[in-house]
Amino acid sequence: MSDCLFCAIASGDIPAAVVHRDERAVAFRDIDPKAPVHVLVIPVEHHANAADLAAADPALAGHLLAVAGAVAAAEGVSESGYRMVSNTGPQAGQSVPHVHVHVLGGRDLSWPPG
């Protein structure tokens, strides 16, 4: 999708600190981290949000969660714990309309999030 920031990161047109890349998904460090570990996992293909992705391609939605888990393991937070978050829409604070799973860890994470 033209004019989509995360499509541009997925294609490599905009640089990012990539920690995982495969044919279907890319994981990269959030530019404004909210925790010591803060990685975003996105599909290469453009989908607006997690529900749209799951409806269009359930296997790809599952792959994103598997990549998020692998990232958490690689970042060393599998045992201490981590959070996966996918914001949808304005009241949830979704600022980039290309589905992304936040992987947050490395500190105590309050619940509910502010």
Contact yes or no for 86/49 (Cβ under 8 A): yes
77 versus 103: smaller Cβ distance to ligand 5GP: 103
Provide, rounded to whole angstroms, the least separation between the CB of residue 7 and ligand 5GP. Answer: 12
38, 47, 98, 100: the catalytic one is 100
Q: Which of residues 11-70 bind ligand 5GP (CB under 6 A)?
A: 16, 28-32, 40
CB of 14 to ligand 5GP, least distance (A): 6
CB closer to Zn ion, 49 vs 78: 49
Stretch that binds ligand 5GP, among 19-27, 50-58, 65-73, 88-96 (CB under 6 A): 88-96
Q: Which tokens is 51 given?
A: 């529900």
Answer yes or no whether residue 87 interacts with ligand 5GP by CB under 6 A: yes
Respond yes or no: is residue 98 known to be catalytic.
no
- For residue 40, the minimal CB distance to Zn ion (Å) is 12
What HEC string does the chain produce?
Answer: CCCCHHHHHHHCCCCCCEEEECCCEEEEECCCCCCCEEEEEEECCCCCCHHHHHHHCHHHHHHHHHHHHHHHHHCCCCCCCEEEECCCCHHHCCCCCCCCEEEEECCCCCCCCC
Query: Which residues form the catalytic set?
Result: 100
